[in-house]
Amino acid sequence: MKLTKISGGCEDDNCPAVYATGRETYIVQGYVINDPDVLQELGLPAGESAVEVPVDLVRGLRAAAE
């Protein structure tokens, strides 16, 4: 799979980022959510997970889309 970085907060790829896959999907790199209260509130189905990303990452996505 070919990944194309479309938004991220640092140059060394060791921080939250979003990548286009070329398969009409995105991969989000972020901080693992381990807080049991948050995970329970999310109510994720089996096979799904969630990551937390900074607001600036989403702003970068908006800028890339314009």
Number of folded domains that form the chain: 1
pLDDT in tens, the chain (66 residues): 899 888 776 777 678 988 889 899 999 999 999 999 999 999 999 999 999 988 888 887 777 777
Predicted pLDDT of residue 27: 92
Which structural domain, as residue segments, surrounds residue 52?
4-65
Cα 16 to Cα 54: distance, rounded to the nearest angstrom? 7
Predicted pLDDT of residue 3: 92
Predicted pLDDT of residue 10: 73
The residue with tokens 């479309």 is: 6
Farthest-apart Cα atoms in the chain, separation: 37
Predicted pLDDT of residue 15: 85
